[in-house]
Amino acid sequence: MESEKVVTTHAALSNIDNETLELIQQAQEADAADQQLTIKQALSRYKKAVFWSMFLSLSLVMEGYDLVIITSFYGQTQFKERFGDIQPDGSKIITASWQSILSNVALLGQLTGLVVNMWVQDRFGARHTMMFFMAWMAAAIFIPVFASSLPVLAAGELICGISWGVFQTLSTSYASEVVPTVLRPYVTAFICMCWGGGILLSSGVVRAVVNVPGDWGWRLPFLLQWIWPLPLFIGAYLAPESPWNAVRRDKPDVARKALRRLRDPASTTDREVEATLAYITHITNLEKAETMGSSILECFRGINLRRTEINCVVWAAQILCGNAILGYSVTFLQRAGFDEIQSFNLNISLSACYIVGGILSWFLMVRLGRATLYMSGLAFMFVCLVAIGALGFRDDKASNLAIGILLVVSTLCNMTTVGPVCYPIVAETPSGRLRYKTVTIGRFVYNLTGIFNNSVTPRMIQTTAWNWGAKCGLFYAGTNLLCLIWCWFRLPETKDRSFGEIDLLFENRVPARKFKYTKADQFAHTAEELEGVHLDDTKVDIQHQERV
C-alpha cells in the first residue's frame, strides 16, 4: 500500500452565470478527451498539428548549424590562415581570446533576441514573429559570408544571434501548445533533434570543404545558411496560430480557426473544437486571476519563482552537464592527439549522435518519464567525464583513442537523455500566462552559462593558455554532479500531466519527489457551482486515500 495525495482546488468565482458553468463543463469534457487519447489516436487526429510544430522547429537547425561551424573553424587550416595569429613556430592559430569573442557575441545577440521575443510573441503571435525574424536572418547572413576581418565576423554573429534567440523560445512554446498532452514529449524533443541536425549538417559541410583552397573553404559553409529562411518564412505564413497564444491575446475567433486547422476535419466536430477552446479559456482565466498583468516580475513571485528556478537550472544544466566540451570537440580532439582530418571525421560521428539519441529518447521518455531519464543521463555522463579527465593525465595513442570513444558515448547519452528531455520540461513547468517569459528567462540563463563556457573552455584546451587538455573533463564532472544533486531534490515529474494539472500541483506546493504520485482534480469546484454554491475566497482541499 502506498499513500497517494489527491489535490483539488476551488477557484475564486462569484456571480456564476449559465455561460460560465457551460464553459467549465466544456473544459472538463476537453480535458477528459485529451487524457484518454492514445498515441495512435493522437497522431491520426492531430497529424496537421504535429506537422506544423515540427516544421517551425526546423528554425533551430540554423542555430545548431552555426554553433559547430564557428567552433570547427578554429581547427580549420583555411580559416586559421585567413584570420589566425602567427605563433613563434610560424604556424597560425585562432587565439583563445578570439575564440571566446566569436562564440560569445552570438550568445549576446541571442540574449537580445530572447528579450525581444518575450514581448513580441505575446503582442503579435508566433506566426508574425517567425516571419519577421526569418527576413532578418536572410539579411544578416550577408555579414559573415563577406567578412573581411574577425571584428566584422563577430558583428555578423551578433546580428544573426538576435534571430536565433527568438527562434529558441518560439519553437518550444509553439510546439508544446498545438498538440495534445500525449504527443508533447515527441514534438518538443524533436526541437532538440533539429538543433542536433544542424550540428550534424555543419559537421559534414566543414568536413566536405576541408580541401577547398582559400577563403571559400570557410565562406561556403556560411553561404549555405541561405537555404533556410525562405521556405521557413513561407511555412510561418501558412501555419495556424497557436490557439493558446490567440486566447491570451483575446482573439477567440483566431483560436477557433487554428483549432480546426490543427485537427483532422473528418474526425473533428464543432463541439470538440468549442470544448477545447473552453478548456484553454478556462485555464487562461484561472492563470489571469493568479498573475494579473503577468509582468516579468511575476516570474519571481510566489509559486512562479519555483517554476522559474526549474526552467533556469534545467537550461543551464544543458551546458554544465559536460556538453560544453562537445561544443569544442574539433579543437579538443586535436589537442588530444588527433590530426585535422581525423578530428573532423570523428566530429561527424559525434554530431550523428544528436539524431540517433533524439529518436531513442522518444521511446524512453514515455516509459521512464522526464525527471528519471534526465537524472539518469546526468549520472552516466558524470562517469564518462571522470574517465575522460583521468585519461588526460596520460599522453599515448591508446588514451587518445579511449577519449574519442568516451566522447562519442557521452554525446549519445546526452542526446538521448539530458538534451531532448530538457525541452518538454521547460515547456510544461511554466504557467500558461507566463510561459514565454519563463522560458525566455531560462534560456537567458542558458546563454549566460554559454558565455561562461565560451570564456573558460577554450582556455582550458589551448596549449597557449591553461593547457588542461582532456583534464577539463574533471571540471565539468564537478558541475555535472551539482546539477544532479539539485535535480534529485527540485526537479518534478510532469509525465502525462495536462497544463491544468501541473498548475494545480505547483499551486499546492507539492514536493518534487511527490509530483508523480499525486492526483490532481482541476475541476473539483464544478459540482458545488452547479448547485449554486458561490465561493468568496480561494480554497484548497487536500485529501488522502490509499492506493493499492
pLDDT, tens digit, for every residue of 70-103? 877 887 888 888 888 887 777 788 887 888 888 7
CATH 3.50.50.60 holds for 28-238+275-496: no
Q: What is the pLDDT of residue 348?
A: 76
C-alpha span between 59 and 197 (Å, rounded): 11
Q: What is the pLDDT of residue 540?
A: 37
**Secondary structure of residue 147 in the 3-state scheme:** coil
Q: Once rounded to an integer, what is the mean pLDDT over residues 98-127?
A: 86
Q: Once rounded to an integer, what is the mean pLDDT over residues 117-137?
A: 90
Please give the span between the terminal C-alpha atoms of the chain, in angstroms, as a whole number: 5
Q: Please state the three-class secondary structure of 11-38 as a single string.
A: CCCCCCCHHHHHHHHHHHHHHHHHHHCC
Q: SS3 breakdown of the chain: % helix, strand, coil, rounded to 5?
A: 75, 5, 20
pLDDT over 90 percentage in the chain? 20
* H helix runs in 369-471, sequence order: 370-391, 397-416, 418-428, 435-461
C-alpha span between 318 and 445 (Å, rounded): 11
pLDDT above 80 (res 13): no
pLDDT, tens digit (0-9, with 9 covering 90-100), for 414-431: 889 998 888 889 888 888
* Most confident of the following: 18-27, 84-93, 328-337, 370-379: 370-379
pLDDT over 70 percentage in the chain? 83
Q: What is the pLDDT of residue 302?
A: 85
Question: Quick count: other Cβ atoms within 10 Å of Cβ 295?
Answer: 11
Does the pTM surpass 0.75? The reply is no
Q: What is the pLDDT of residue 538?
A: 33
Q: Once rounded to an integer, what is the mean pLDDT over residues 343-363?
A: 79
Bridge partners (DSSP) of residue 85 are 93
Q: What is the pLDDT of residue 3?
A: 45
Q: What is the pLDDT of residue 542?
A: 35
Q: Bigger pLDDT: 307 or 18? A: 307
The torsion angles phi and psi of 542, rounded to 5 degrees, stand at -120, 115
C-alpha span between 84 and 320 (Å, rounded): 29
Split at pLDDT 50, 70, 90, the class of 151 is very high
C-alpha span between 282 and 115 (Å, rounded): 28
Please report, for the chain, the start and end positions of each structural domain, with discontinuous segments joined by +.
Answer: 2-16+501-547, 28-238+275-496
Selection from 244, 222, 461 nearest residue 331 by Cα: 461
**Secondary structure of residue 254 in the 3-state scheme:** helix
Q: Once rounded to an integer, what is the mean pLDDT over residues 177-186?
A: 84
Residues in the chain: 548
Which pairing describes strands 85-86 and 539-547: parallel, antiparallel, or unpaired? unpaired
Q: What is the pLDDT of residue 317?
A: 93
pLDDT above 50 (res 539): no
Q: What is the largest CA-CA distance in the chain?
A: 87
Whole-number mean pLDDT of the chain? 80
* Residue owning grid cell 589537442: 335
Q: Bigger pLDDT: 524 or 355? A: 355
* HSE, side-chain direction, 13 A CA sphere, residue 4: 12
Split at pLDDT 50, 70, 90, the class of 527 is very low
Q: What is the pLDDT of residue 526?
A: 44
Q: Bigger pLDDT: 284 or 5? A: 284
* HSE, side-chain direction, 13 A CA sphere, residue 218: 25
Q: Bigger pLDDT: 298 or 21? A: 298
Q: Could you give the C-alpha distances from 190 to 34, 45, 91, in angstroms and in order?
A: 21, 19, 42
pLDDT, tens digit (0-9, with 9 covering 90-100), for 271-300: 888 888 888 887 777 767 665 555 788 889
Residue type, 378: L
C-alpha span between 189 and 448 (Å, rounded): 23
Split at pLDDT 50, 70, 90, the class of 257 is very high
